[in-house]
Chains A and B, each alone.
Chain A
Amino acid sequence: MKLIEKLPFRQELIDLIGQYGSIKTYPAGTPLVNDSCSEKDSLFILEGVIKLFIEHQNRKILLYHIEDNDVCILSYMDIFSDHPVQYSSVAVKDTTLLFIPNDKLLEWSKDYSELRTIIVSSYQKNYSCLLNTIKEFIGQSLESRLYSYLKLKSIHAKSLELKIPHNEIAMELNFSREAITRAIKKLEDDQKVIRRPRSIVLLENHIASA
């Protein structure tokens, strides 16, 4: 209940959310769909980080991450049409989610302007994140995309040393493992990373403070 109090809503709405919402915690690495919670729920991230991706024939293409300090609603169904949104998600760190039934969200959005604002802002953020991912695909070299990816992972892990297998990076960035290995070597030649047997170490200090 304490985590819900952090949401930027008036107390009356927080009380309603406490009554009708449900909270679940997911260890790092757990997929978030195929859960007992209904796909007709929307969710807030109270604590942790999740990543969204598209799955297609054994490939997983990273879309973007959502963190607990992005006050953002995520839905697996379009709120008004019940059409599935068709992406997958997984907890990057131990994550606590708040689930709210979509029909309650709609009902409360009529009376609480701050909730309406968050719903619209969430769509806008979602749009912006997807656009950025598209821009990265068409505009950036593999090395640039890889470096941006490693910096983001470093912020989430709060560490300059990243123990991520090359094949996992390859899946997320939609490149072959060999291409990722070559790109890491190029980043090392440019003195942006150091390659170690089981990890990659970033050479710039860019971790966000806790």
Chain B
Amino acid sequence: MQFIDLLKLDPQLTELIKQHAIEKKYESGDMIISQGAYKDQTAFITNGLLKVFIEQENSSLLLYHLCNESNCIASFMNIFTNTPIEVSMQAIHDSTLLWVSNAKIIEWSEQFMCLKLALINSYQNNRYHLRNALKNLTINTLEDRLYEYLKTKSRHYKTSDLKIPHSEIAMDLNFSREAISRAVKRLEIIKKVIRKPRSIVLVNV
């Protein structure tokens, strides 16, 4: 499993995870957890791509992605306090997660430094992404935010031809669909993208 090599996990810990974890598979589009729910578990992403976002009354905002190739721990930042989860998580691609109770995570992180390091690295990544999301929200124009979003998606989807509906982009960036369509047009005028009937193609990426 890729996450074991990525996180440099001890073989003994790997065996414990295999013994105690519950494997769940999710199809593209499945909600993994909704904001406000309780989940006293942490997951290792063995396969797939997830998005983490927040939802408010009439708005939502994409925060960051998690995948088996990089940021492969899905933690809800509530390991010591089983408080309601503050974000939502959804599978973008078909995904497989290994769920472990937080009680086990705490127990194992006392025994295995590799797990403690992996968790803290994961928290640091999450913090970094949140800080960037906030900076983008407050400092960048819509076109800049949209362009950064498309580049991020291109990296995760491993293609520059992005088949993402404008309505989905609008939800992810907390703008109206019409504003997104206008911003895509403006990016095309400055030759950063090409608009196709069902996709957006990034130029020179």
Which residues of A line the B interface, CB within 8 A? 54, 56-57, 59, 61, 63, 78-81, 85-87, 109-110, 113, 116-117, 119-121, 123-124, 126-128, 130-131, 133-135, 137-139, 174
Contact = CB atoms under 8 A, between A and B. Distances in A.
13 contacts: A54-B139, A56-B135, A80-B120, A81-B121, A85-B131, A86-B131, A120-B120, A121-B80, A124-B78, A127-B77, A127-B127, A130-B130, A134-B134
Given A54-B135, A123-B120, 7 more contacts: A116-B116, A121-B80, A123-B124, A127-B77, A127-B126, A130-B130, A174-B138
A110 B113 contact: yes
B131 A54 contact: yes
**DSSP majority for the A interface?**
helix
B130 A131 contact: yes
Interface residues of B, number: 35
Contact of B87 (A63, A78, A131, A133): A131
A61 B131 CA distance: 11
B117 A130 contact: no
A134 B54 contact: yes
Give me the 5 closest cross-chain CB pairs, A-B, nearest first. Answer: A123-B123, A139-B56, A130-B130, A127-B77, A124-B77
A138 B127 contact: no
B35 to A, nearest CB: 10
B86 A138 contact: no
Interface of B: 54, 56-57, 59, 61, 63, 77-81, 86-87, 109-110, 113, 116-117, 119-121, 123-124, 126-128, 130-131, 133-135, 137-139, 174
Contacts of A137: 134, 137-138
Given A127-B130, A138-B59, A138-B137, A119 B120 contact: yes
Contacts of A87: 131
Given A61-B138, A134-B61, A127 B174 contact: no
A126 B127 contact: yes
A113 B126 CA distance: 23
Contact of B56 (A119, A133, A138): A138
A49 B87 CA distance: 28
A126 B129 CA distance: 12
B121 A130 contact: no
B56 A135 contact: yes
B125 to A, nearest CB: 9
B80 A124 contact: yes
A8 to B, nearest CB: 14
B113 A130 contact: no
Nearest to B125: A78
A187 B87 CA distance: 31
B86 to A, nearest CB: 5
Contacts of A61: 134-135, 138-139
B79 A120 contact: yes
Contacts of B80: 117, 120-121, 124
Contacts of B137: 134, 137-138
A78 B121 CA distance: 9
Contacts of A116: 109-110, 116
